[in-house]
Amino acid sequence: MATTVMKTGEKPAAAAVVDPADKKQPSHYRGFVAGVFSGIAKLSVGHPFDTVKVRLQTTDKSHFRGPLDCLLQTVRKEGFAGLYKGATPPLVGWMFMDSIMLGSLSVYRRKLNDRFFNPRQPGHEQGKLPIVGHAMAGMMAGWTVSFVAAPVEHVKARLQIQYSADKSNRLYSGPIDCLTKIFRGHGVRGVYHGLSATLLFRTFFCFWWGSYDVFTRMLQNNTNLSTPAVNFWAGGLSAQIFWITSYPSDVVKQRIMTDPLGPERRFPRWRDAAKAVYRENGFKGYWRGFVPCFLRAFPANAVALVAFEGVMRSLPE
């Protein structure tokens, strides 16, 4: 076997140094997979609250006296299943939406940190993404998922305002029937009715994910909570921050999505729906249905974030 003889005075070859920047980066797929589990958890806990919220948002005061009255009337007339009316599209939708939203959120966080806030440098440990970076990533993820969320929420809203217990008296027999009738009558534009309102509403994701990072750091630095417990509390609290800041825009969005399509349409522009809310109920109209929404926000999103972060930790990079 041939051997290499080192010449006199020749220095041995230096061992290859691996630049930290060249190490394998975490795979993008993890956020998209973990988001599916987040969507399932969120819908299971939160849909009954959402049904009450939508019904309060889209009816006048004479129909329901408040959240509890809405809940009791729904259960009495339609059974417990009435609270899960319209759950099929968001079950499928939340799986896709949370997959896209949380997957894109993970990608945007990494890209913003690598390219803008803390570019990788040889021999230096990369810094963490700052709060403003988390807020920016959240807003961009919100815009991204809006193109999936708009038709899902449109169908869900129209199903949720069908109050008849007798299925034969309902305009739509289910989500597929609803989607089919909207598409046949109004095309793709009808299916995406309310897209601009959805984009505006999800712009407020900046408050959700910015505050999620704030709460996570506070709990990690000032408590002895386990990692899942930190995810639970940070997820629930940040979701409530999001709804406090975004709720009026959600009320307007729901009005637009339940507005008749075609010549009977009442709100051709976002501001028309916003003015109608104020004209009918004043400033309080923008907060109608807030209580069930706020009560739902903590448990639904706390459980969803525990599921998401837990799956993220369990998946190989």
| 111-156 per-position pLDDT tens digit | 999 999 999 888 888 899 999 999 999 999 999 999 999 998 999 8
Sign of torsion over alpha carbons 46, 47, 50, 56: negative
CA distance 236 to 234: 6
Query: Given CA atoms 85, 91, 96, 101 in this order, what sign does their dihedral have?
Result: positive
d(CA 200, CA 257): 14
Length of the chain in terms of residues written: 317
pTM of the shown model: 0.80
Residue indicated by tokens 């399509």: 261
Residue 63's closest CA among 51, 55, 54, 75?
55
Chain centre distance of CA 184: 29
Q: CA-CA distance, 183 to 172, in Å (whole number)?
A: 13
Spatial neighbors of 73 by CB under 8 A, at least 6 apart, are 64
- Alpha-carbon distance of 272 to 251, in angstroms, equals 13
Q: How far apart are CA 123 and CA 113, in angstroms?
A: 17
Interacting residues of 23 by C-beta distance below 8 A, sequence separation 6+: none
pLDDT tens column, 56-86: 888 877 788 888 899 899 899 888 888 888 7
Alpha helix (H) residue ranges in 258-289? 270-281
pLDDT of residue 234: 98
pLDDT of residue 17: 46
Cα R_g (the chain), whole angstroms: 24
Tokens of 182: 């909207």
pLDDT for residue 92:
79
Structure tokens, 150: 């708009």
Task: Please report the pLDDT score of residue 24 as a whole number.
Answer: 52
Identify the pLDDT of residue 9.
52
Say if CB 26 and CB 317 are below 8 A apart.
Answer: yes
| pLDDT for res 255 | 96
Distance CA 83, CA 78 (A): 8
Tell me what pLDDT residue 22 has: 45
Question: Structure tokens of 190?
Answer: 């009808």
pLDDT, residue 14, reads: 47
* Paired tokens of 156: 């869900």
C-alpha angle 197/195/174, rounded to 5°? 110
Could you give the residue ranges of the DSSP H alpha helices within 161-261?
A: 175-191, 195-203, 205-222, 227-257
- Positions of the chain with pLDDT under 50: 1, 4, 14-23
